[in-house]
Structure 1
Amino acid sequence: MPGTPRGRRGSSVTARPKLTADAIVQAGLEVAAASRSGVFSAKELGEKIGADPTSIYRHFKNKGHLLQMMLDELTARCVASVTAPPEEWRDRLRQLANTTLDEFCAHPSVIMELTTLTTHGPGEADAVELVLDAFTRAGLSSSEIVQHYALFSLQLISSATTIARRRSEEHGADLADDTDAFRAWFDAPHSLNLSKHPRTVELSAQIARLDERDLFRRGVEAVIESAESRVVPDRVTGAS
């Protein structure tokens, strides 16, 4: 047919969709979610996008840079999941925390191969703004806002990372199975000396019943309660 691009021997030429950085990031997250492994495979990503894995590095400096951008996209998704209105600052923090734990556990290789979880990307910037705004609306002084932002971020990132790493290495559990995915937080040593470790012997059974997700949520609530206890009188704000 006139005007139709032809290849050799008259075969039609099908243009391959342009490979973009965003498309690679989205495909990378699909690969990470499918494997639930602690190791991210550039080879599997290449197969996913239908290109040689080396083509990825036309868009990213190296594998670490790609993983940073994947983490930033996860962070953006977490921020987008927050549906509570700004004045409901406690619920906004809870929603951000719960989704972060879910996303980290669903994509463990994204965080386990990075040496730093700072992305300097738009997703991270939006998350920082959300947390700072929440503690501002709580009515804290500027110094307390900053301190509680740091406390919340530390609790959120370190705990979610630890849980995701542990589950990936020990269980590979499916996040959808909430009763099985988050198991006992602590396994007591097999051999305990009653004279040297009396409290551990006494309480080990109770410690073994602790649940990772429950502990994570309790940590978040502790930061929220700390903020509530430090509200400056007459400073509770409903600022837009």
Structure 2
Amino acid sequence: MGTSSDRSAKSAARGRGRRARDSLSRAIILEAAEKIATSEGLESLTFQALGKELEAHPTSIYRHFRDKDELVLELIDSLRSRSYGGTLKKSDSWRDDLRSSARHIHEHYLRYPQFAFQMAARTTRRPMEFSNVEFALDALLRAGLSPEDAALQLRVFGNIVRGLSSMEASLLALDPEIRTRDELAWEVEYRQLSQEEYPHISSMAGQLAHIGDPRIFDLAIELYLDAIELRASRTRVTPAEPEP
């Protein structure tokens, strides 16, 4: 039969292995979720993994999040808020505002490449998303677009920014050895192609930009802004002259 001190030690060990039920919060769970997803990937983010990380029973997490999908959407929006929350300030230039929004989002994707696909594809329906949409719509309307066209261009602008950003971020999320091979292809293999079979590639091989070249994203945004300005100038209604 064990002594009272033995029983006390075992009881203390059990106590250290399980977090108090009321000590969890959404913020604590999100922090643990980010840690797991960043180090092991989103596919490894389960309530079981969270329970192990937090030393809590997995069912206790359901008191704060209905399911994994709600948790992921909350995590995406909280990461956005941390990256550039409060930095989108309206200026006198709609072009500067859309450019600033695009660059903040692009930098955010590169900061969290493991979440690129989810960030590009999902609608979080949360404060930072609402704020981003309101900011972009205001800029598009100030560019001179009609409400109908601005609503359509909001989707085009978002797709361009998220599409390019997620492509670059996905490259960063690749295994380092694979990523290096892909990047070196533009420096080595393209330069070795036959001039007879690929005359344009052969003559311009030294000028071809790789996927992560920062000039690509900036150029795409400037081309889009030019197109919006041209579109607005073509559709802007000229006030009718008063009758004599």
Alignment TM-score > 0.5, same fold? yes
Q: Name the counterpart of 1:194.
A: 195
Q: Name the counterpart of 2:104.
A: 99
Gap regions ≥5 residues in structure 2: 1-7, 13-18, 178-182, 239-244
**Identity rate of aligned residues, in percent?**
26
Gap regions ≥5 residues in structure 1: 1-7, 173-182, 236-240
Counting matched residue pairs gives 217
Contact 1:39 1:113 in 2 (8 A): no
1:185 and 1:195 mapped to 2: Cα distance?
20
Task: Give the letter aligned to residue 98 of structure 1.
Answer: R
Give the SS at the match of 2:208: helix
1:63 and 1:194 mapped to 2: Cα distance?
53
TM-score by length of 2: 0.69
Q: Does 1:111 align with 2:111?
A: no
Task: Give the letter aligned to residue 141 of structure 1.
Answer: S
2:160 and 2:145 mapped to 1: Cα distance?
19
Give the SS at the match of 2:121: coil
Answer 1 or 2: which has greater helix percent.
Answer: 2
Greater relative contact order (CA < 8 Å, ≥ 6 in sequence) = 1
1:113 and 1:231 mapped to 2: Cα distance?
32
Contact 1:104 1:111 in 2 (8 A): yes
Q: Does 1:82 align with 2:83?
A: no
Change (3 A) 1:96 1:23: farther
Q: Name the counterpart of 1:130.
A: 135
Change (3 A) 1:92 1:49: farther
Larger Rg: 2
Contact 2:77 2:129 in 1 (8 A): yes
TM-score by length of 1: 0.70
Task: Give the letter aligned to residue 95 of structure 1.
Answer: S
Task: After TM superposition, list the pairs within 5 Å mapping 1:1-240 onto structure 2.
Answer: 18-32=23-37, 35=39, 38-39=41-42, 41-42=44-45, 45-46=50-51, 49-53=54-58, 55-77=60-82, 80-112=85-117, 116-171=121-176, 186=186, 188-189=189-190, 192-208=193-209, 211-232=212-233, 233=236
Contact 2:191 2:202 in 1 (8 A): no
Contact 1:72 1:119 in 2 (8 A): yes
Superposed CA deviations along residues 218-238 of structure 1, whole A, max 9, x for unmatched, are 212222222222234479xxx
